[in-house]
């Protein structure tokens, strides 16, 4: 820096132009290497001494200086010394760069200052300002600039009009964008692309397709950007037939497929449910592009074909962060959370640093897995790698700890979160709800409102759920009413489902049925499922059969409804009906979800199925099970045969119920966990009554705390008592 800026430095003498060029080059280099305000001011002084600021070649140098300024105020003071003849040109370049940056609002501040100081504007001044305005909330500044455009006579300039259309479309004012678009005298492919993309971004896919047809009738050839946008619209609208027409157009016009169009075509077919066509298109691509391969991984994950996604992933020689994240997310959202965490660690071994999206997927996997040790490792990793202060990550940590059974740690993260949003509060409320702590749910709900955080629809689901599982019927009714009266929220199926469940769990089945009959929405699977579950709990088999059949009308392959019907028939020894129903299930390919339980020990997750013999310590586990059953029978335990609704002898039923997966998991915990430690179990189905009694007795006789997360909630067993108070 010192050598570059030494006052004695001389420039080659051949000509004034050469000297100017050399000076500009030297000063530009100095600008790029300046790292402190003092150095920048030194370069600024040299620019004033050695450069003809009125010469066009000085404009880029001045813009670079302005952008490098330590503050916007300093940049404005620099700009005020630019010669009048160059101000408009320099200002336009400066505004363009500001509008592209992270703080587009600075472009509006600069404009406001320069306008008040009388700097002349031309038609090139407005597009960057309008671009900045489109990024600002409410488009207030953009609308004011539009008025100024008209006042100065640039309203008919196609360049400015295109920028206005982009601003209104990007800001969601799509009607204003279309009105302006229709008044344009000259519409090139860029303006058509902006308008079509605006419709797509605002979810108006049919309008986007209609505009595409209008463009073709106007003899404007679509570019690749437009084709990608319209294919995306077809996919998101589920319009496969029109998407195929676009594909035919691409083929007939020999459009060269770049990665964006490949990806758009594959996404269009995949989102329309045609993974075979998407795969066929992908197979025809050579060489395989990383962007398109990542799209295939994402779509296979979304449709539940995680093995196909992994096959494509493994075939890639080079993988970027987006690709790794797509695969990790696919595992996290499927029923293979352990694979997500394994891949997350493998990604780091390959030297790929995760971003926030990857971190959230990994935390989601920990939550799904219910593995507290791995969750604590992730929390440590998050803090050590600079993600710990991000609010989405904090919210995910709250959720993860709660779903791993550690409500205390979840609350600790919540309390250390300085700027809580509605998601933070809702996550904490839902955490208390799933653990059956209705008192804290209500306390936090009212505290949230006191701190002027407005609850949303998901918040109310958590609060109503807590009231339902705690038997707080009147409080639940009061809160449900407040959704509309106090918060202007329209209840959805999930909220009515909570109300049906609220009354149903309390045995108020007539009131539950009345909710269904009077609700303004047509009952869906959630509603009938809630009534069906309540009837099962209270033994109302006739109404339960009716609810199950209503549910099957809406979703003929619903495994839960088939199982409930089968259990009702079995309970009343209607074995012929049971046989016919199970034959129908086989014909339709409907199978009861297989129950499993997981337990984490020493950072390793062990999974058990009913009557499982696959574990390498199976013999010891069953010996422990026999020992525990003998001990518990001494204090009154008797296996509950009515939990097994199949046509077998009662003695055999008693054997079957002892082999439930959660019993095997807890016995493995007793076998291997140190005395006094908490045993944590994850169960994918609802815990049965016999296993619930079994856990209570173990917690008392073996003096162990046991936490079981089943499909709907947590059960904390301690000293022979469960946190659900046998109301679940």
- The per-residue pLDDT for 230 is 93
Side by side, the strands of the sheet bearing 714-718 are: 604-609, 596-601, 679-683, 706-709, 714-718, 721-722
Task: Please say if the pLDDT value at position 507 is more than 90.
Answer: yes
Residue 606 to residues 369, 533, 704: CA-CA distances in angstroms?
A: 11, 30, 19
> Helix, strand or coil for residue 340?
helix
Asked whether the beta carbons of 690 and 632 are under 8 A apart, the reply is no
39 confidence band (pLDDT: 50, 70, 90): low
Asked whether the beta carbons of 92 and 79 are under 8 A apart, the reply is no
Mean pLDDT, residues 424-441: 96
650 confidence band (pLDDT: 50, 70, 90): very low
- The per-residue pLDDT for 200 is 92
- The per-residue pLDDT for 127 is 83
Mean pLDDT, residues 49-65: 54
- The per-residue pLDDT for 425 is 98
Mean pLDDT, residues 39-67: 56
* C-alpha span between 155 and 703 (Å, rounded): 81
* C-alpha span between 289 and 637 (Å, rounded): 62
Beta pairing partners, 709: 682, 714
- The per-residue pLDDT for 597 is 95
| N-terminal to C-terminal alpha carbon distance within the chain | 74
Per-residue pLDDT tens digits for 602-634: 778 899 999 999 999 999 999 999 999 999 999
Structure tokens at 589: 């390919």
Per-residue pLDDT tens digits for 110-149: 777 777 777 787 888 888 878 776 665 445 666 777 888 8
Q: Decide the pairing of beta strands 679-683 and 706-709.
A: parallel
Asked whether the beta carbons of 705 and 717 are under 8 A apart, the reply is yes
Mean pLDDT, residues 541-569: 91
Mean pLDDT, residues 652-662: 77
Asked whether the beta carbons of 509 and 538 are under 8 A apart, the reply is yes
Per-residue pLDDT tens digits for 369-423: 898 999 999 999 999 999 999 999 999 999 999 999 999 999 999 999 989 999 9
- The per-residue pLDDT for 47 is 58
Q: What percent of the chain has pLDDT over 90?
A: 54
- The per-residue pLDDT for 474 is 96
Per-residue pLDDT tens digits for 217-237: 998 989 989 999 999 899 888
Burial of 11 (0-12, 13-18, 19+ CB in 10 A): middle
* C-alpha span between 669 and 649 (Å, rounded): 31
Average pLDDT, the chain: 85
Asked whether the beta carbons of 495 and 460 are under 8 A apart, the reply is yes
Task: Please say if the pLDDT value at position 109 is more than 90.
Answer: no
* C-alpha span between 140 and 535 (Å, rounded): 56
Per-residue pLDDT tens digits for 669-684: 999 877 778 999 999 9
Asked whether the beta carbons of 577 and 546 are under 8 A apart, the reply is no
Beta pairing partners, 609: 596
Asked whether the beta carbons of 528 and 560 are under 8 A apart, the reply is no
- The per-residue pLDDT for 478 is 96
Mean pLDDT, residues 7-30: 51
Asked whether the beta carbons of 370 and 600 are under 8 A apart, the reply is yes
Query: How many Cβ atoms sit within 10 Å of the Cβ of residue 17?
Result: 10
Asked whether the beta carbons of 202 and 174 are under 8 A apart, the reply is yes
Give the largest CA-CA distance in the chain.
109
Q: Could you tell me what percentage of the chain is helix, strand and coil, using 3-state DSSP and rounding each to the nearest 5?
A: 65, 5, 30
Lowest mean pLDDT among 32-36, 277-281, 310-314, 435-439: 32-36
Residue 721 to residues 357, 694, 699, 715, 718: CA-CA distances in angstroms?
A: 40, 11, 8, 10, 5
**DSSP code of residue 186:** -
Task: Please say if the pLDDT value at position 4 is more than 50.
Answer: no
Task: Please say if the pLDDT value at position 592 is more than 80.
Answer: no
- The per-residue pLDDT for 23 is 53
Task: Please say if the pLDDT value at position 6 is more than 50.
Answer: no
- The per-residue pLDDT for 134 is 67
54 confidence band (pLDDT: 50, 70, 90): low
Query: How many Cβ atoms sit within 10 Å of the Cβ of residue 12?
Result: 9
Per-residue pLDDT tens digits for 298-356: 999 998 899 999 999 999 988 999 999 999 999 998 889 999 999 999 999 999 999 99
Task: Please say if the pLDDT value at position 70 is more than 80.
Answer: no
- The per-residue pLDDT for 536 is 87
151 confidence band (pLDDT: 50, 70, 90): confident
User: Considering just the CA atoms, what is the radius of gyration of the chain in Å?
Assistant: 33
- The per-residue pLDDT for 130 is 80
Q: What DSSP string runs through 7-42?
A: TT-----S-HHHHHHHHHHHHHHHHHH--SHHHHHH
Task: Please say if the pLDDT value at position 579 is more than 70.
Answer: yes
């Amino acid at each position: 820096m010192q050598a570059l800026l030494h006052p004695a430095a001389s420039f080659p003498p051949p000509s004034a132009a050469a000297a100017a060029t050399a000076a500009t080059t030297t000063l530009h280099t100095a600008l790029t290497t300046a790292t402190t305000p003092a150095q920048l001011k030194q370069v600024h002084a040299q620019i004033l001494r050695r450069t003809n600021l009125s010469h066009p070649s000085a404009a880029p140098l001045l813009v670079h200086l302005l952008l490098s300024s330590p503050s916007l105020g300093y940049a404005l003071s620099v700009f005020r010394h630019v010669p009048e003849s160059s101000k408009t040109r320099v200002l336009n370049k400066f505004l363009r760069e500001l509008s592209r940056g992270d703080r587009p609002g600075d472009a509006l501040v600069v404009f406001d200052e320069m306008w008040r100081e009388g700097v002349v504007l031309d038609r090139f001044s407005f597009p960057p300002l309008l671009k900045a305005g489109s990024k600002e909330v409410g488009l207030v500044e953009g609308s004011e600039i539009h008025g100024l455009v008209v006042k100065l006579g640039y309203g008919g300039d196609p360049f400015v009009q295109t920028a206005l259309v982009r601003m209104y479309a990007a800001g969601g004012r799509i009607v204003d964008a279309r009105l302006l678009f229709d008044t344009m005298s000259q519409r090139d492919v860029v303006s058509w692309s902006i308008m079509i993309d605006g419709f797509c971004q605002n979810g108006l896919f049919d309008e986007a397709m209609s505009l595409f047809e209008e463009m073709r009738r106007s003899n404007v050839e679509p570019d690749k950007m437009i084709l990608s946008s319209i294919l995306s619209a077809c996919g998101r609208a589920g319009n496969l037939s029109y998407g195929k027409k676009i594909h035919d157009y691409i083929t007939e016009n020999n459009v060269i497929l770049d990665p964006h169009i490949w990806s758009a075509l594959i996404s269009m077919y995949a989102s329309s449910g045609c993974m075979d066509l998407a795969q066929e298109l992908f197979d025809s691509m050579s060489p395989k592009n990383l962007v398109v391969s990542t799209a295939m991984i994402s779509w296979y994950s979304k449709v539940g074909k995680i093995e196909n996604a992994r096959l494509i992933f493994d075939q890639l020689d080079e993988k970027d962060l987006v690709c790794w994240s797509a695969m990790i997310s696919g595992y996290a959202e499927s029923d293979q959370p352990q694979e997500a965490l394994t891949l997350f660690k493998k990604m780091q071994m390959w030297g790929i640093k995760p971003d926030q999206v990857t971190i959230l997927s990994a935390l989601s996997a920990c939550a799904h897995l219910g593995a507290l040790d791995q969750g604590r490792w992730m929390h440590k990793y998050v803090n050590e790698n600079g993600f710990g202060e991000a609010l989405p990550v904090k919210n995910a940590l709250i959720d993860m700890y709660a779903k791993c059974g550690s409500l205390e740690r979840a609350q600790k993260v919540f309390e250390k979160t300085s700027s809580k949003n509605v998601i933070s509060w809702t996550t904490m409320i839902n955490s208390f709800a799933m653990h059956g702590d209705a008192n804290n749910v209500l306390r936090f709900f009212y505290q949230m409102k006191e701190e002027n955080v407005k609850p949303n629809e998901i918040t109310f689901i958590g609060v109503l759920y807590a009231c339902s599982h705690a038997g707080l019927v009147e409080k639940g009714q009061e809160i449900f009413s407040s959704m509309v009266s106090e918060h202007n929220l329209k209840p959805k199926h999930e909220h009515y489902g909570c109300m049906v469940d609220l009354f149903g769990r309390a045995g108020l089945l007539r009131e539950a049925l009345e909710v269904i009959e009077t609700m303004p929405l047509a009952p869906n699977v959630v509603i009938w499922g809630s009534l069906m579950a309540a009837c099962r709990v209270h033994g109302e088999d006739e109404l339960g059969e009716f609810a199950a059949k209503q549910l099957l009308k809406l979703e003929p392959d619903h495994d839960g409804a088939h199982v409930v019907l089968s259990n009702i028939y079995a309970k009343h020894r209607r074995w012929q009906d049971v046989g016919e129903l199970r034959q129908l299930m086989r014909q339709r390919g409907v199978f009861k979800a297989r129950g499993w339980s997981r337990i984490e020990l020493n950072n390793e997750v062990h999974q058990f199925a009913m009557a499982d013999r696959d574990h390498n310590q199976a013999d010891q586990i069953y010996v422990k099970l026999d020992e525990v059953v003998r001990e518990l029978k001494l204090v009154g335990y008797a296996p509950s045969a009515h939990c097994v609704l199949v046509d077998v002898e009662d003695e055999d039923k008693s054997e079957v119920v002892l082999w439930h997966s959660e019993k095997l998991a807890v016995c493995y915990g007793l076998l291997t966990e140190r005395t006094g430690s908490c045993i944590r179990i994850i169960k994918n189905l609802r815990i049965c009554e016999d296993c619930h009694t079994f856990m209570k007795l173990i917690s008392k006789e073996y003096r162990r705390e046991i936490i079981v997360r089943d499909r709907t909630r947590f059960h904390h067993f301690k000293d022979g008592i469960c946190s659900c108070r046998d109301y679940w």
